[in-house]
Amino acid sequence: MLSSKEVISKMLITRKSKFTGVTHTIDIPVDISIYNKWLNNGFGNTPIQSVFPGLSANQREFLLSGCTPEEWDELFNDEKDNEED
């Protein structure tokens, strides 16, 4: 696994959102060999934040679900707003 201080070049990653079915592509700073190992469950049940400690929560969510921060806000902000009423 990578330390959060290692510098990795960015990689374009394309994922289909599990929430909307929309395909998104973003640049994420990951090592391709670690990313491929993670994709193939090579880390077992290791939490994603341990595999990719240098990524933001938004970047990790994208890897897991294909959901972008904008899509997340659009989908779940209404729920948060309704809870406050």
Q: What is the pLDDT of residues 47-85, one digit of tens each?
A: 999 999 999 999 999 999 999 999 999 998 865 555 555
**Mean confidence (pLDDT) of the chain:** 86
Which residue, 51, 84, 73, 47, is CA-closest to 28?
Answer: 51
Look at the block and give the residue holding tokens 């929309």.
Answer: 22
C-beta atoms surrounding 28 within 10 Å: 20
The per-residue pLDDT for 80 is: 54
The per-residue pLDDT for 78 is: 66
Look at the block and give the residue holding tokens 């990653």.
Answer: 13
Q: Is 60 exceeded by the pLDDT of residue 38?
A: yes
4 band by pLDDT with thresholds 50, 70 and 90: very low
